[in-house]
Structure 1
Amino acid sequence: MAGPIPDLEERATLCARRLYSADRVLLASHIDADGLTSAAIAAQAIERAGIPFETVFEKQLDEDAIAALAATEYDTVLFTDFGSGQLDVIGQHEDAGEFTPVIADHHQPADRETKYHLNPLLFGINGASELSGAGTSYVLARALAAVSDDGSDTSQGVATDGGVGANTAAPDDATDARPDNTDLAALAVVGAVGDMQASSGELHGANAKIVEEGVDAGVLETGTDLALYGKQTRPLPKLLEYATDVHIPGISNDERGALRFLDGLDLELKRDGEWRRWSGLTNDEKQTVASALVKRAVTKGVPATKIDQLVGTAYVLAEEPVGTELRDASEFSTLLNATARYDRADVGLGVCLGNRDEALERARKLLRNHRRNLSAGIDLVTREGVTVEDHVQWFHAGDRIRETIVGIVAGMAMGNAGISRSRPILAFAEKGVDGDDEPDLKVSSRGTHSLVRRGLDLSVVMGEASRAVGGDGGGHDVAAGATVPNGAEREFIERADEIVGNQLS
């Protein structure tokens, strides 16, 4: 059974064999959309292989978190969507014989080697733009399916919430499970989209190979479509009003303008007094709206390069109901971000595993709260503005924006009045550790793909600048994070500004 990414197949098989030989596995994963989908893919693959396991999530895989994992009685720990950057610490516990790590990650590795390490960067594949954490977990899942394809006994039963049970029922979608795990490609695409890897409107490289497998498995559909967020769930006026990535004067951020634009089209855009959604339009109707939108953008002087961004590749989860957040990869990833970032990773995992009752309803409530918090955060940053240095811009939210979403707020605020897209943005927020008068600070950074093409690498920026002030950090070229001591902001900014200047010179 050939895997989707030939360059990774040998290492993926090695890791899969180690998991398959384990008596039980502790699965540890990150909390964002990519981390949740990584965990869900790994959990289902492990379950289908008949291996008892438990799932835990960590907001940050620091020394204390790794020590806590080592203190468990698990001999095998699978890290998904993190672990590579913490290999120096993980390796100390491995050397002490406390556990054997298996890592499926796509972040920059620390200067340390370990045997069971699956990371695209080790094989010349860009982990920031070509393969996400979920994609790496998918490659491992495909290998695990091949390794366990010998008719092994799975009668012990593994609970779908990550625990061990006797003849436990499988997830709600188990009847659609594929023995080769290719049905999990849909979650891998959700993770990649949530990790901002759909640059220039589509997924590239190894991600595209996973898309192909998902389409072949019947769990994904792709096609050229309007590149606006909310095509499944937002009424048409709100879809256009809130579409601000490409600002169209008279429509974007203009409720009345969006209504006037739609009223001017010769289409039935309301039914039973309710505005229709993009997902409910026919192809001809979609073409009419899209053509009128492009024409309006041209007449308002929107640059051609921006107008091109109005159209991209849509990634649709074919088995999910039309008109729900789960149908669209982008909306699905946002739903997941609204769970674990508010300490409810169990809810996000449940949705990924097919719980369409309690977990989905809870996730939707969390999403409504998440949207309110994002809106308030963006308003705060736009109102108070940013401090502009020679090469970076930054703001300090203190405890007014939750540390788990401050990076999302920073990225969404770019392009608003006074907040440039021509330089990366850094955002500080208090980590809010109980009982700590001066908690460490979380720093999130966001750039653009055009800045990355010019040489920006925020993983290097955040790593070097944070370590210069006694902290630590890393991530990807277009988005990265760090933890720094309270009071070190000025020194950190100066160092980051210097590094960015050198990268973009």
Structure 2
Amino acid sequence: MGFCDDVKAAAEQIAQASDITIISHIDADGIACEAILSQAISRQEIRVKSVFVRQLEPLTMPQVPNDDSFKIFSDLGAGQQNLMMERGLSEKEVLIVDHHISQPCEREYTQVNCLPYGHTRMSAAGVSYLIAKQLDNSNIDLAKLAIVGNVGDMMAREKCGLVGPARDIIVEDGVRHQSVEVHKKDLNCYGTATRPIHLSLAYNDDPFVKGISNNQEGARQFLKKLGIRDKTSDGRWRVWEELDREEKRTIISALAEQLIAHGEKVDRLFAETYGFPDELPRTPMRNAQEYATLLNACGRWAKPAIGGAILRGDRGQAYRDAEHMLNNHRAIIRNLLQFIIDTGVKELENLQWLHVGGRYPDTIVGIGA
């Protein structure tokens, strides 16, 4: 059997169930998994409920209901199968949808995992989407969510764009559905929908452009020399996606010239990016990177269900709550990074460590590390 066979078998298992519980991870990928699977299952008129966990461990296993429901573990489970066995879960009531290394286990739980088949650049949201599409081809509207999950799990980072099935199937489905726009050879930077142009340039250090990266004023002067207005006629900061094609070309060419002048490569200056034209301009949902950050903020602050509601289309209270968490998330991270700079990192022979005490949530400290 191959990966496609595993996807087909999983869809058949789901279709035969009458009551399903999804147990999913709290990061952008896990939240996207839950939103994809729960919507696809609901459309089959199957009862479904969801539980989010930070990770599967002895302390969190009691959150997994010990009932008659069929249980789908998404973006986790492959490496924690012994915990499922200890919980008393049988092989017939479990499906694992994951992309992490699998743990040997006495019980052979059904698993759809892209990793053993060599698909190392696809996340669990991608696997979830393929199952949803197998359930019903009309679920291609969920491709957008899978792209957010994949990008949020850094699957586009190494190659400056998605590759493999994530690109060839999921992105293409999104384009065909007209909910996804692909921007080839776009500027490889973050915040193209919400950040002022000079901040997008200044905060980007991959690649590091001397005089611009980590230099807000330098970035503004760079734009000024190129004759690019950084504000609109009514005084608002312009964002990257509002620039016309010629302005973008001018900026990218000038950045490339600067990199070459300093003996640097230009390959990471470009990236394939994924935009969502049906979302409002100047919002984080406008592109995959910023959408994923919004979801991650929800997860980091223990509100993954709010991220799930946004993925289902809630642009009211859920979005307002998420936006508040995102702003708070960014402020806390800035504070944490300044704390690290001020306090310093202790270094041992094979270890670097920092003690933050109770100043920051444990879900945030890892970002600083």
When normalised by structure 1's length, the TM-score is 0.68
The one-letter amino acid of 2:163's match is H
Distance in 2 between residues matched to 1:99 and 1:400, nearest whole Å: 44
Q: Which amino acid aligns with 1:212?
A: E
From 294, 304, 309, the counterpart of 2:256? 294
CA distance in 2, matches of 1:62, 1:53: 23
From 139, 142, 148, the equivalent of 1:190 is 148
Provide the residue aligned with 1:218 in structure 2.
Answer: 178
- For 2:209 and 2:263, the matched residues in 1 are separated by 7
Determine whether 1:100 maps to 2:93.
Answer: yes
Question: 2:329 matched to 1:367?
Answer: no
Match of 2:344 in 1: 385
Higher RCO by CA contacts (8 Å cutoff, separation 6 or greater): 2
Query: For residues 256 and 267 of structure 1, do their structure 2 counterparts lie closer, same or farther at Cα, with a shift above 3 Å needed?
Result: closer
Equivalent residue, structure 2, for 1:263? 224
Contact 1:232 1:324 (C-alpha < 8 Å) held by counterparts: yes
Provide the aligned C-alpha RMSD in A.
2.1
1:18: Cα distance to partner? 1.7
* Percent identity of paired positions between Structure 1 and Structure 2: 35
1:94/1:100 contact within 8 Å kept: no
Name the CA distance, whole Å, in 1 between partners of 2:253 and 2:7.
46
The CA distance in 1 between the partners of 2:37 and 2:13, in whole Å, is 14
Distance 1:302 1:324 in 2: 36
Q: How do 1:26-65 and structure 2 match up within 5 A?
A: 26-65=21-60
Q: Is the 8 A contact 2:91 2:110 kept in 1?
A: no
1:325 aligns with 2:318: no
Are the equivalent residues in 2 in contact too, given 1:70–1:98 (CA < 8 A)?
no
- Once the two structures are superposed, the pairs formed by residues 344-423 of structure 1 within 5 Å of their partners are 344-388=303-347, 393-410=352-369
Contact 2:297 2:325 in 1 (8 A): yes
CA displacement at 1:264 relative to structure 2:
1.3
Give the gaps of 5 or more residues in structure 2. none
Provide the residue aligned with 2:82 in structure 1.
88
Cα drift, residue 377 of structure 1: 1.7
Evaluate the alpha carbon distance shift between residue 87 and residue 255 of structure 1 in structure 2; reply closer, same or farther with a 3 A threshold: same
CA distance in 2, matches of 1:49, 1:125: 28
Displacement of 1:406? 2.5
> Is the Cα–Cα contact under 8 Å of residues 315 and 328 in structure 1 kept in the other structure?
yes
The structure 2 residue matched to 1:18, chosen from 13, 27, 32, is 13
Partner in structure 1 of residue 131 of structure 2: 140
- Cα deviation for residue 389 of structure 1 reads 5.3
Look up the match of 1:473: none
The partner residue of 2:138 within 177, 180, 197 is 180
Deviation at 1:387, TM superposition (A): 4.1
Aligned equivalents of 1:42 and 1:87: distance in 2?
Answer: 21
The answer as to whether partners of 2:220 and 2:230 remain within 8 angstroms in 1 is: no
Residues in 2 aligned to 1:47 and 1:326: alpha-carbon distance in whole angstroms: 24
Mean alpha-carbon deviation: is it higher for 277-286 or for 11-20? Answer: 11-20
The 2-side partners of 1:141 and 1:115 are apart by 20
Structure 2 vs 1, CA of residues 285 and 15 (structure 1 numbering), >3 Å: closer, same or farther? same
- Over 3 Å counting, the alpha-carbon distance change for 1:138 and 1:391 in structure 2 is farther
What's the CA shift for 1:31? 0.3
Distance change in 2, residues 1:264/1:330 (3 Å): same
Alpha-carbon distance in 1 for matches of 2:165, 2:352: 33
Paired letter, 2:154: M
**Mapped contact 2:284–2:291 kept (Cα < 8 A):** yes
